[in-house]
Amino acid sequence: MPENQKQSIHTKQDASAQAGASQKGVMGWVEDRFNLGGMKSFITHKQVPLHRHSLWYYLGGMTLFFFVVQVTTGILLLFYYRPSAESAFESVQFIMTEVRFGWLIRSIHSWSANLMVAGAFLHLFSVFFMKAYRKPREMTWVSGVIMLFLAMGFGFSGYLLPWNELAFFATKVGTEIVAVVPLVGKALMEFLRGGEDVTGATLTRFFAIHVAILPAIFVSLLGFHLMVVQVQGMSVPPGVEKKEKSLRYMPFFPNFLLRDLLGWIIALGCLVAIAALFPWELGVKADPFASAPAGIKPEWYFVFMFQTLKYIPARLWIVDGEIVGVLGFGLIAAAVIFVPFIHKKTDHPKTNRIFNLIGVIAIIYIIVISAISYMSVE
Amino acid sequence: MGNLMKKNIIAMLCSVSVMYISAQTNALAQDATSESPNSCIWCHQEIGDELAEPIVAMEHDAHASKGLSCVDCHGGDPTAGFDEDETAAMNPAKGYIGVPSRKEIPQFCARCHSDPNYMRKYNPRVSTDQYDRYKTSIHGQKLAQGDSKVATCVDCHGAHGVFEVNDPRAKVFAINIPQTCGNCHSDSDYMDGYGISTRQVDDFKKGVHGIALLEKGDQAAPACNDCHGNHGAVPPGVPSIGFVCGQCHLNNSELFRSSPHMQAFAEEELPECETCHSNHDIEPPTDSMIGIGDESMCIDCHSEGSTGFEVAEILHAKIDTLKQNIVEADSLVAVASRAGMEVSEAVFSLSDANQSLIKSRTMAHALSVERLDEVTKEGNTQANSALSIGIAALDELQFRRKGLALSLVFIFVLAVGVYMKIREVDKRMDV
């Protein structure tokens, strides 16, 4: 080990020991062992740039807040939820009618799930337009996009869990779409469904994915994402960077964190109000032998893809239209993940304009197509 | 486009049509079973006009579809007569019968349709008693007396071009029956002299059964034949009306038979169900038909102070109370449901209460206060249960709203506190 590095470690340990020695009781005991002083020193030294786009920095924290709400309410729901075709619906009904504040917990869980996905989408677009994915933050973007896809996976798997009619048929349609993927589609569909059809086996499978597999992957990525954000700090948009030579900064702790906290408190107030005034409906229990009700639609964040698949002709030259659609969305998803590696010349105004245009078109497309789908009479 | 071209096109279309019809009839000129030439078709087609009509009609005929041909009903020799010697084909020595007179028609059809051995070949389940039953009907009796205006087989089923009964094109398909019967029975000129009303079909169309059958297309609803019979059609007599209605309204009929009305109606020669509900123009029954109100049927016979009058009043009150309880619970549960409260248990209870209300309306036919009480009690229990759930849901809703308001006040105070802190920290740190 180089001498200067050893010295640095010794200096840190000494500083920590001194801090521990200066503090008594529990805090001193903790400081002696975990060097919280170092962490505190890091946080207090971290600076957040202040400019006209700084507001967008709060979206990541907001999405994180909704995720924390999801984890908390999800754990509470687990106390009563029973993942089987025979008892899932009844257990959710029990939560909503018999368990004290069960209705509120479930309603918050459902609303917060949607707000979390919405927050993640907004965060993604804000980062996209601010070109915050440019070097050295490529992997922050990649992990963030994957987390957005995982959040959509959370939504898809969680939607089925109450085992109601709408969820059952939406899952049936959703998993059917997976089957069109060439070569592995059918196997993938059967893997997701736990058989040929959507049954109780699908429910237990989705439950495992929703409460164990996705959270494990998500939390790992989240840890990485937060770590790199802390280490690399907030990105300043290229335009701001050039124009504002003397950029102002704000300490992350406590100034930025307090603002984050204010946002979370306001979000909590809104979430509680929405959840209480518009409790998430349970609907009627799924009946696999009943015919599908009219107007089956997936969750709102899948609607633009669902509607697009409807517009693609059944046959495109010699290829099945649905295959083209599904593969097309797969390619777009991959392209979104690899944006930092596709768009490297972020200091080039022309390419920036092209990418901004692509982003605007994507937003307009998603909004317009979703609106058409919701307004169309089935 | 010039007139000449138009004429040419029309002429061309006519030629194509003639060629097509000719090809069709030529194909029919082959015996359906043996594929040998059929002189009946050949000759009738040659003569044309109304003599050719049966050929077209037979194209979709139920008999033809089973392989039967002209000769199977009319006899004769379809292999002869191609030399324009029609007597060879229509030779009585070869069994030629020709066109039966109206009086002969039932017997003509019965040659096959009354023969179980013959009919079994085509449909093992088909009944073969139509002719026997026809003879017992008013139509059959009058025909035997020489009245050829009455309906025979062909008037309802058609002669050539007969469709199976369950074929929607058949004149005897459930939805078409009122019109088929009405062809004669609604024609006042045709029915002149028989001394019966010609309003039955019009009345039927206005009644619950007619609306269900003809407007809603409910084929389970009764048509004329379900009450009057088809081949053995007669107006149901006073003693049999209860049984006729009881074919479908079984419980009502049985309860009526166990009620004090049964004997009283028999003594007064009142036509059971029809006395209160009418016959063809049956209106949807209402709860006000029972009781002592203006629309009550009971007060037509029972005057104030009589036992019947008292019972009618009690029966109405019991049904009405149950109905009111259901309405009250239903509206409360609906309010709670619209507010987003989970009230599925109350909905189940209301469904049970409504079931009891239906049962109580049926039970009213027994005219027993005790028996009705059993049913309404159960319904009231369910309605009260739904009401309690609805009240609890609305209480819970109020609790939630107050809780929400309190929470929002707390959250607001917290937010203001944090905001003040931000200002203080920003000022202190000069941000």
How does pLDDT run across B80-138, given as a tens digit for each residue? Answer: 877 777 787 888 888 888 889 999 999 999 999 999 999 998 888 888 999 999 999 99
The better pLDDT of the pair A68, B66 is held by: A68
Q: Hey, are the CB atoms on A103 and B418 less than 8 Å from each other?
A: no
**Residue B344 near chain A (CB below 8 Å):** yes
Q: What is the pLDDT of residue B18?
A: 43
From chain A, the residues in CB contact with B344 under 8 A are: 93, 282
The mean pLDDT of A255-275, rounded to a whole number, is 96
The better pLDDT of the pair A189, B13 is held by: A189
Q: Which of A96, A259, A269 sits opposite B412 (nearest CB)?
A: A269
On whether residue A17 sits in a domain, the answer given is: no
Q: What is the pLDDT of residue B7?
A: 54
Q: Is the pLDDT of residue B427 over 70?
A: yes
Q: Hey, are the CB atoms on B408 and A272 less than 8 Å from each other?
A: yes
- Structurally, chain A folds into a number of domains equal to 1
On whether residue B302 sits in a domain, the answer given is: no
**Residue A78 near chain B (CB below 8 Å):** no
**Residue B346 near chain A (CB below 8 Å):** no
Q: Could you report the predicted ipTM of this complex, rounded to two decimals?
A: 0.84
Whether the CB-CB separation of B212 and B254 falls below 8 Å is answered with: no
On whether residue B384 sits in a domain, the answer given is: yes
On whether residue B116 sits in a domain, the answer given is: no
Q: Name the residue of chain B whose CA is nearest to A278's CA.
A: B340
Taking CB atoms and an 8 Å cut-off, how many pairs form between chains A and B?
58
Check whether residue B280 and residue B317 sit in a common domain. no
> What is the pLDDT confidence band of residue B14, given thresholds at 50, 70 and 90?
very low
Q: Hey, are the CB atoms on A250 and B421 less than 8 Å from each other?
A: no
**Residue A279 near chain B (CB below 8 Å):** yes
On whether residue B297 sits in a domain, the answer given is: no
Q: Hey, are the CB atoms on B425 and A254 less than 8 Å from each other?
A: yes
> What is the pLDDT confidence band of residue A24, given thresholds at 50, 70 and 90?
confident
Average pLDDT over chain B reads 88
Q: What is the pLDDT of residue A335?
A: 97
Residue from B418, B425, B429 whose CB has the most chain A CBs within 10 Å, to mutate:
B418
pLDDT digits 0-9 by tens, B172-196: 999 999 999 999 999 999 999 898 8
On whether residue A147 sits in a domain, the answer given is: yes
Q: What is the pLDDT of residue A22?
A: 60
Q: Closest approach of chain B CAs to the CA of A97, in angstroms? A: 7
Distances from the Cα of A289 to the Cα of A82, A163, A196, B23, angstroms: 22, 14, 15, 50
The better pLDDT of the pair B235, A277 is held by: A277
From chain A, the residues in CB contact with B401 under 8 A are: 276
Q: Hey, are the CB atoms on A250 and B341 less than 8 Å from each other?
A: no
Q: Is the pLDDT of residue B238 over 80?
A: no
On whether residue A78 sits in a domain, the answer given is: yes
Check whether residue B208 and residue B256 sit in a common domain. no
Check whether residue B188 and residue B248 sit in a common domain. no
Q: Hey, are the CB atoms on B431 and A250 less than 8 Å from each other?
A: yes
> What is the pLDDT confidence band of residue B69, given thresholds at 50, 70 and 90?
confident
The mean pLDDT of A213-219, rounded to a whole number, is 98
Q: Which of B401, B419, B431 sits opposite A262 (nearest CB)?
A: B419
**Residue A72 near chain B (CB below 8 Å):** no
> What is the pLDDT confidence band of residue A23, given thresholds at 50, 70 and 90?
low
Q: Domain span at residue A130?
A: 43-375
The mean pLDDT of A189-201, rounded to a whole number, is 96
Q: Closest approach of chain A CAs to the CA of B398, in angstroms? A: 11
Q: How far is CA A193 from the centre of its chain?
A: 23
Dihedral sign, Cα of residue A112, residue A113, residue A118, residue A121: positive
Q: What is the pLDDT of residue B36?
A: 64
Q: Closest approach of chain B CAs to the CA of A263, in angstroms? A: 9
The better pLDDT of the pair A229, B8 is held by: A229
Q: Which of B342, B418, B419 sits opposite A282 (nearest CB)?
A: B342
Q: What is the pLDDT of residue A4?
A: 45
On whether residue B380 sits in a domain, the answer given is: yes
Residue A298 sits at φ, ψ, to 5 deg, of: -75, -175
On whether residue B221 sits in a domain, the answer given is: yes
**Residue A273 near chain B (CB below 8 Å):** yes
On whether residue A25 sits in a domain, the answer given is: no
Q: Is the pLDDT of residue A5 over 70?
A: no
On whether residue A12 sits in a domain, the answer given is: no
Q: Domain span at residue B261?
A: 236-284
**Residue B418 near chain A (CB below 8 Å):** yes
The mean pLDDT of B260-271, rounded to a whole number, is 91
What letter represents residue A123's amino acid?
H
Length of chain A: 378
Percentage of chain B surpassing pLDDT 70? 92
- Structurally, chain B folds into a number of domains equal to 4
On whether residue B425 sits in a domain, the answer given is: no
**Residue B422 near chain A (CB below 8 Å):** yes
Residue from B337, B343, B348, B422 whose CB has the most chain A CBs within 10 Å, to mutate:
B422
Return the HEC string of B270-302: CCHHHHHHCCCCCCCCCHHHCCCCCCCCHHHCC
CATH number of the domain encompassing residue A174: 1.20.810.10
Q: What is the pLDDT of residue B105?
A: 94
**Residue A266 near chain B (CB below 8 Å):** yes
Q: Hey, are the CB atoms on B418 and A265 less than 8 Å from each other?
A: yes
The mean pLDDT of A160-180, rounded to a whole number, is 94
Check whether residue B323 and residue B250 sit in a common domain. no
